Chain A
């Protein structure tokens, strides 16, 4: 098994590729042609090489929370274009397109529900909405989800997937790092767990704020996790990066992640952690 080489290849060739329409899909890990239905039945994990395909917020919600228990909140908070940002594109157009393309208002959704009958507050990021970037609304929704967990005295799970802060909101987006971290500090005063799950990719301002503040930090196999992006690092130091650098397994080895968790075991492991923390 040579996990890293496969992942690296997939990064170079198809970083942004979604699962294409049609009945079949090619695995980014091993190039196996997989029947889409089969992939979906296997939680979007390749049956041959265990490559974890990127999935959206709805799929995590369906996968982890008990059927019929889910209630979304704050779904109507909407991004505005505070800086009237125009560079190569207009931010207001980008927002419009992202909403149209994804059917979502923003790059994060927040829900309450139960996991194996235990109440839970969960925020799930969605990379398909402007690269999961954090602007005012993502920050605000994460902060409010944290408050909700505190008020309802439930554990908090945040599933991250983000290229970092949203440049088009300038310093506002930067300050969401401070906002979310400050509210998590309030949450930390309760004896309730915050479990952070890092999925591919989790970088920049999201990593350097709430994503790295979990009492428990889990990561999906092969996920790219870091502060600076690999391209920036490579440019700065002027040399190639070591194999497997900034992957979930690398962070596990360096001591920044508690566990790398196969998607098939995610619900069970979250349950075990939450049961441990119940008083």
Chain B
């Protein structure tokens, strides 16, 4: 079922109207044809207007849109073959992080990504894309496999956060994330990081250290969700102040470009990735191949040095 956000409504309504008119125009009526063209022009203008003026909160909603493509939607469209690899060899197989090996055109890569569910049943299975420590340990295991065989790694970030549960703490959620940051900073193959939806805090960063950080146009990445931030800062009003928190924390792809954390924004088809999976995957695939090629031109020592420098530069202070 399609979910329509408030600010998407006028666009979807106009689209439906055009569809209806088209049905009528089967009678080959010239007047209707003119009207359809007029409405299409109106739709184009309306879409441009709506999507070029989105607030941070609206972008946040697009990033969380229940119809948005997830990791496997991209893998299915980009890879000619993909073998999922399961388990951390320690405790279990986390379903909120998926990993495996595959081929994009002629390039063999390892892909790791957060995976959300499309409906309630899937979301229970995927734990709403919120990993336990096993997910991070599996991710690292597969990254080190890629390192061993000299293949680049692509990480697709899309999580509302690492899971805050009893078992997660018992099995060392913090240690698992910390170990990934530590090891990923020196993994001796190209590491391409792409935020495809939600980049929530350490849960995202746990598979987010790399040579290039790309963000799809309608995504967010920050230290805490706007709701989480609001519930701490505005105790009583709580989550109702989340839009304000989103503004204050500056969480969008555009913001992260300005903060010099993200390296590149990947434009989505008009209306957002959720309106056209195939087109989004096509754009993503092209950029992935381009980025991997340029990273593979660097020798390993330069690659690692640049990676450390990249993160060393992040932040602002007076010295």
**A interface residues (Cβ-Cβ under 8 A, vs B):** 76-80, 82-83, 85-89, 135-137, 139-140, 143, 165-179, 181-186, 188, 204-205, 207-213, 226-229, 232-233, 236-237, 241-242, 245-246, 254-256
Are B318 and A78 interface neighbours, CB within 8 A? yes
The residues of B that contact A87 with a CB separation of less than 8 Å are 229-230, 233-234, 241, 244-245, 248
The residues of A that contact B205 with a CB separation of less than 8 Å are 174-175, 177-178
**Can you report 20 residue pairs joining A to B where beta carbons are below 8 Å apart?**
A79-B317, A87-B230, A87-B233, A135-B315, A170-B259, A171-B249, A171-B250, A172-B259, A174-B201, A174-B222, A174-B223, A178-B185, A182-B307, A182-B312, A212-B172, A212-B179, A226-B169, A228-B168, A228-B173, A232-B164
* Chain A, residue nearest B261 (CB): A171
3 closest cross-chain pairs (CB), A and B: A136-B315, A228-B164, A182-B185
The residues of A that contact B208 with a CB separation of less than 8 Å are 178
B289 within 8 A of A: no
Are B202 and A184 interface neighbours, CB within 8 A? no
Give chain B interface residues in 277-291, CB to chain A under 8 Å.
Answer: none
A-facing mask of B158-200, CB < 8 A → 1, else 0? 0000111110111111110111011101100000000000000
**B interface residues (Cβ-Cβ under 8 A, vs A):** 162-166, 168-175, 177-179, 181-183, 185-186, 201-202, 205-206, 208-209, 221-224, 228-230, 232-234, 241, 244-245, 248-251, 255-256, 259, 261, 307-308, 311-312, 314-319
The residues of B that contact A176 with a CB separation of less than 8 Å are 314-315
Output the least CB separation between A189 and chain B (Å). Answer: 9
The residues of A that contact B256 with a CB separation of less than 8 Å are 171
* Chain B, residue nearest A228 (CB): B164
Which of A86, A140, A232, A246 is within 8 Å of B315, CB to CB? A140
Are A212 and B223 interface neighbours, CB within 8 A? no
Output the least CB separation between A88 and chain B (Å). Answer: 5
Q: How far is it, in angstroms, between the C-alpha of A179 and the C-alpha of B311 when the chains are bound?
A: 5
Which of B178, B228, B255, B261 is within 8 Å of A209, CB to CB? B178
* Chain B, residue nearest A237 (CB): B165
Which of A165, A183, A207, A255 is within 8 Å of B223, CB to CB? A165
Q: How far is it, in angstroms, between the C-alpha of A136 and the C-alpha of B311 when the chains are bound?
A: 11
Are A136 and B317 interface neighbours, CB within 8 A? yes
Are B174 and A212 interface neighbours, CB within 8 A? yes
Chain A CB within 10 A, most for which of B183, B229, B249, B307: B249
The residues of A that contact B245 with a CB separation of less than 8 Å are 87
Are A78 and B185 interface neighbours, CB within 8 A? no
The residues of B that contact A82 with a CB separation of less than 8 Å are 259, 316
Are A237 and B209 interface neighbours, CB within 8 A? no
Given A170-B222, A171-B259, A173-B223, A185:B162 Cβ within 8 A: no
* Chain B, residue nearest A202 (CB): B174
Total A-B residue contacts, Cβ distance less than 8 Å: 201
The residues of A that contact B172 with a CB separation of less than 8 Å are 212, 254-256
* Chain B, residue nearest A203 (CB): B174
Are B314 and A175 interface neighbours, CB within 8 A? yes
Output the least CB separation between B237 and chain A (Å). Answer: 9
Given A83-B250, A185-B182, A207-B178, A227:B311 Cβ within 8 A: no
Are A139 and B315 interface neighbours, CB within 8 A? yes
Which of B179, B249, B316 is within 8 Å of A136, CB to CB? B316
Are B315 and A174 interface neighbours, CB within 8 A? no
Are B166 and A181 interface neighbours, CB within 8 A? no
Are A181 and B178 interface neighbours, CB within 8 A? yes
Q: How far is it, in angstroms, between the C-alpha of A241 and the C-alpha of B169 when the chains are bound?
A: 11
Output the least CB separation between B26 and chain A (Å). Answer: 52
Are A175 and B174 interface neighbours, CB within 8 A? no
Chain B CB within 10 A, most for which of A83, A135, A212: A212
* Chain B, residue nearest A254 (CB): B170
Are B201 and A172 interface neighbours, CB within 8 A? no
Which of B175, B222, B307 is within 8 Å of A256, CB to CB? B175
* Chain A, residue nearest B248 (CB): A87
Are A172 and B185 interface neighbours, CB within 8 A? no
Given A226-B174, A227-B174, A171:B182 Cβ within 8 A: no
* Chain A, residue nearest B136 (CB): A208
Q: How far is it, in angstroms, between the C-alpha of A118 and the C-alpha of B17 when the chains are bound?
A: 79
Are A208 and B177 interface neighbours, CB within 8 A? yes
Output the least CB separation between A238 and chain B (Å). Answer: 11
* Chain A, residue nearest B319 (CB): A77
The residues of B that contact A205 with a CB separation of less than 8 Å are 201-202, 223
Chain A CB within 10 A, most for which of B223, B317, B318: B223
Q: How far is it, in angstroms, between the C-alpha of A71 and the C-alpha of B318 when the chains are bound?
A: 21
The residues of A that contact B209 with a CB separation of less than 8 Å are 178, 181-182
5 more CB-based (< 8 A) A-B contacts, given A168-B248, A171-B223, A245-B169: A172-B315, A179-B312, A213-B179, A213-B182, A256-B172
Given A82-B259, A167-B223, A178:B311 Cβ within 8 A: yes
Are A227 and B168 interface neighbours, CB within 8 A? yes
Which of A184, A210, A246 is within 8 Å of B169, CB to CB? A246
Output the least CB separation between B106 and chain A (Å). Answer: 31
Q: How far is it, in angstroms, between the C-alpha of A185 and the C-alpha of B184 when the chains are bound?
A: 10
* Chain B, residue nearest A173 (CB): B223
Chain B CB within 10 A, most for which of A170, A241, A256: A170
The residues of A that contact B318 with a CB separation of less than 8 Å are 77-80
Q: How far is it, in angstroms, between the C-alpha of A86 and the C-alpha of B247 when the chains are bound?
A: 9
